Chain A
Amino acid sequence: MTIRGVVRLPEPVLTRAAAAVSEVGQAERDLATDLLDTMRASPACVGLAAPQIGVSLRAFVVDVTGHRKARSCHGAFVLFNPEIVSASEPSLAREGCMSVPDLTGDVARASRLVVRGLAPTGEEKVLSVDAFEARAVLHEIDHLDGLLFLDRVTAHDRVFPRKVYR
């Protein structure tokens, strides 16, 4: 097992799109183990994407076990080349990120999601996730596209004047 360092902004790997894995072999299984180990080394961490440990490949781990905001829970799982099959029911919640210290922001994300990808065994998985697990999956997939929650944040202020003042 290897606990890898979590890279932080402005590390360029965080803001570029990661490459798909061509197959799931030993190197990919090692990456999956490192993602799990590194996530577990941080008590509050419920998800980690490969770019966050400096690897520009499309892989992430999520584990929302025991989280008070979780409804669906698939335990700890790693997906390679994840794709969103369907997404609905947006909801707003405040997020932070291990790679963006000091800031948090309100982000609207789908709260119902079907995602598919390859497990470390190489078999295709299709998962239905909702609530907090859906938020975590979408946050990690954003990392694979070089996007941070800062790209999604709705606003610092939650309200804006909608018309011209009289």
Chain B
Amino acid sequence: MSHHVAITAIGSDRPGIVAAVTGVLWELGCNLEDTSMSILRGHFSMMLMVAVPPGVSAADVEAAMEPAAAASDLVVVVRPIDDDVPVSTVGEAWTVSVYGADQPGIVHRVARLLADAGVNVVDLVTRVIGEPEQPVYAMFLDVTVPPGVDGIEASLEALAGEMGVSCSASPADAEIL
């Protein structure tokens, strides 16, 4: 039976990184499942959940990556993961955006508020934009609000007010057509 590994690979962005990393996996007989790959501050950052054939260990995958990693100047880490897929919190899907003058603690304070309310973060993207002397921080979250949790919008707005940033939250339920 195949098993799963989690792979992270990060390096300066350039054409060919995805082709190089996935080429190694293809040759090993691995299958890419859920992945997230993006440029973060000029660095191409990959997170891959990969099904690996029997007899190939996480260490084998990491070793096989070495030539490609060296050629593309990538930091690659491969770790085994549990094959059982954990069940996420159920609830209503919301999107939250927070943006304003960059300052330490924006992500933590928003995340703390959500965690204390039992709200689960399912996707989070942050970007630093604007001029270097006046950076603006932008944070976008997809969250799951469990049944019975009310007033998240108001508490987020109060927190945003304390930090002097803007915040909006709205239900993101998809319409099934």
Contacts and interface: CB of A to CB of B under 8 A. Distances in A.
Interface in A78-97: 93-97
Contact of A46 (B42, B173, B175): B175
Interface residues of B, number: 16
Interface string B14-39: 00000000000000000000000011
Interface string B30-63: 0000000011011000000000000000000000
B39 A94 contact: no
Interface string A29-58: 000000000000000111100000000000
A135 B140 contact: no
Nearest to B128: A165
A159 B174 contact: no
Given A157-B125, A159-B138, A98 B176 contact: yes
A97 B177 contact: yes
A129 B76 CA distance: 52
Contacts of B140: 157-159
B177 A94 contact: no
A139 interface: yes
Q: Which DSSP category, helix, strand, loop or mixed, fits chain B's interface? A: strand
Given A161-B127, A166-B132, A135 B175 contact: yes
Contacts of A135: 175, 177
Contacts of B41: 165
B115 interface: no
A121 interface: no
B81 interface: no
Contacts of B129: 161
28 contacts: A45-B177, A46-B176, A47-B177, A69-B175, A94-B172, A94-B173, A94-B174, A94-B175, A95-B175, A95-B176, A96-B175, A96-B176, A97-B176, A97-B177, A98-B176, A98-B177, A104-B174, A105-B174, A135-B175, A135-B177, A136-B175, A136-B177, A139-B177, A140-B177, A159-B138, A161-B127, A161-B129, A165-B41
Q: Which 3 residue pairs spanning A and B have beta carbons closest together?
A: A104-B174, A96-B174, A139-B177
